[in-house]
């Protein structure tokens, strides 16, 4: 029986070197902002990253975008 090397997601994120991209479809769970609102932010200038049909955004860039929008 194999034992997992990394037991929790916090350690996994630290091991990934601070990788903070989130898929648009999981934005509600990750940052509590619905995907339609995120699409509006993309139209206003928030960068988005595409890989095939998948759309991603950065949590850090979202934070800076919201701070700058006020």
pLDDT digits (tens, 9 = 90+) for 7-63: 555 544 555 557 899 999 999 999 999 999 999 999 999 999 999 999 999 999 999
Which residues are CB-neighbours of 47 under 8 A, at least 6 positions away? 57, 58, 61
34/5: higher pLDDT: 34
57 and 51 Cβ atoms separated by less than 8 Å: no
Report the distance separating Cα 62 and Cα 6, nearest Å. Answer: 28
Q: Is the pTM of this model over 0.75?
A: no
């Amino acid at each position: 029986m194999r034992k997992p090397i990394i037991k929790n997601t916090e350690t996994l994120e630290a091991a990934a070197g601070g990788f903070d991209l989130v898929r648009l479809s999981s934005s509600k769970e990750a940052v509590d902002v619905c995907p339609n609102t995120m699409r509006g932010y993309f139209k206003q200038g928030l960068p988005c990253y595409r890989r095939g049909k998948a759309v991603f955004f950065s949590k850090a860039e979202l934070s800076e975008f919201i701070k700058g929008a006020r």
